Amino acid sequence: MKHYDYVIIGSGIAGLYTALLAREQGHVLVITKGSIEDCNTRHAQGGIAAAIGQDDSPDLHYKDTIAVGNGLCDEEAVRILVNEAPARIAELVNIGVPFDTLDGRIALTLEAAHSVPRILHAGGDATGEHIEVTLSRRIRAARVPVFEYSQAAEILVEKNSVAGVKVLDCHTGATEIFQCRHLILATGGAGQLFKFNTNSDIATGDGIALAFKVGAEIMDMEFFQFHPTALHLPGVTPFLISEAVRGEGGILRNVKGRRFMPDYAPQGDLAPRDVVARSILYEMQKTGSDQVYLDVTQLSPYVITTRFPHIYRFCLDHGLDITRELIPVAPAAHYMMGGIKTNSWGETNVSGLFATGETACTGVHGANRLASNSMLEVVVFSKRIMERTARGAKAGPSAALKRREIHCKLSERKATGSFPRPSFASLQKLTWNHVGVIRDRAGLTKAADILAVWQHKLPPPTDRPSHELHNLVLTGRLITEAALLREESRGAHFRSDFPRTSEEWQQHIVFTAG
């Protein structure tokens, strides 16, 4: 049985960046269920936010983040995020991330709900790919061991402290146990829960499920961000059309060609994502269409092809020249704000268990994520995990942060009647229809009943697909039950039967097993 100081589950920016830091403090192993190149980070077209511009400041970045979070951002965590951002950017530059420059300075652009341009990009609209490739190259050069095609199947705990992890070889079906002092979950989100999503196929809620089963607290799961503009072409998997396209002047139009966002929000096309996503759905309903259009034809072809080369090339490969034609778009599941509850050092309530990236809930996003804060959150809090473990400190209770919380267990549901058989396709359809952009009690109750039945009926997992289905069903239950409990609309969570925000619900919903 092999023993490591750090075992890191996941090979996106969160896992690889943490591994680079951890290798300076002990023996490290990275475990990933696909290849090192399979991750959501590659799909991140937007960028990384940091107050490094002359007209910007951490205080201004703080105010923008708090405003978008709709009363649920953890103020201490946000202060940490914005104050430590410039130093983390400098580290990324030092390890070779090729951020775009203009006249010798890092170029900064504007995205929705930011008051000034503060978004750093690499390769125009290929920021995530450039960061991930840089990190993976450094990991290989440093000879950090990476176990690819290995599914984390179970966290091993002794006396509420992590002892190791059981891992399934996705090729042979054999299992192996790795002991460790520190287990860091960097498994990404759960976008594959929904029929229409912008995520890689690895985003199946693995970290959430693994952590929940060993007693870790799971928080804010009702807040799932739906990106308003995913490419909507017949037979083409939803492809993210970055929010930065609207930041550069892209205009949303309905199928009749009319600009509609000023009807819904004073910020127009640059309103927060949740507002834009719902507005698009309302406009689709009004016009009887399954899409709207994003218009960039008023921009010069040079700007489009140099600022968004990846988007331009992808669309052109599918017969669409966005310099001359409108881009058909519709909302799609994009980012999970909730996750494994951590304190400001990435610690969970299980000693030795840490979480970082999308699978973690640090509290910085609140009810809605400010664009491009997600990759920043990764590097800031991954660094803090290493600072914490370097001091040899024991994990402290995550409740050290001042949060108003409701603590819950998953309800025991005794649903009757006939239900569809559990499958990946039926799960995606169920959650998209009833736990999507717009929710209500009837739909959420139906989904909660079916998910509870499925969770009990699924046979024990034996391979990667069955593990992923188990993890998605459990993650789906946590999202659905949280959405059913929260009888208000706030940020990315919208209830048509409770359309207003309630002061009573300015608190976090936290689930624990047992």
Q: Which residues are catalytic?
A: 273
Task: Tell which residue, 479, 459, 483, 478, has the closest CA to residue 469.
Answer: 459
Residues 6+ apart with CB under 8 A from 310: 45, 123, 124, 125, 126, 129
Helices (H), 142-220: 206-213
Helices (H) and strands (E) in the chain, counts: 13, 22
The residue whose two tokens read 């490094």 is 52
What letter represents residue 233's amino acid?
A: L
Asked if 74 and 219 count as a contact pair (C-beta separation under 8 A), the reply is: no
Asked if 260 and 280 count as a contact pair (C-beta separation under 8 A), the reply is: no
**Max intra-chain CA distance, the chain:** 67
Residues 6+ apart with CB under 8 A from 157: 163, 214, 215, 350
DSSP code for 455: H
Q: Encoding tokens for residue 169?
A: 């070889």
Exposure string over 88-117, b if 16+ CB within 10 A, otherwise e: bbeebeeeebebbeeeeebbbbbbbbbeee
Q: Encoding tokens for residue 56?
A: 């910007």
The secondary structure of 57-115 as a DSSP string is: -HHHHHHHHHHHTTT-S-HHHHHHHHHHHHHHHHHHHHTT----EETTEE-EE--TT-S
Asked if 139 and 16 count as a contact pair (C-beta separation under 8 A), the reply is: yes
Q: Encoding tokens for residue 333?
A: 């599941």
DSSP code for 318: T
What letter represents residue 186's amino acid?
A: A
Q: What's the angle, vertex CA 276, arms to CA 487 and CA 328, rounded to 5?
A: 130
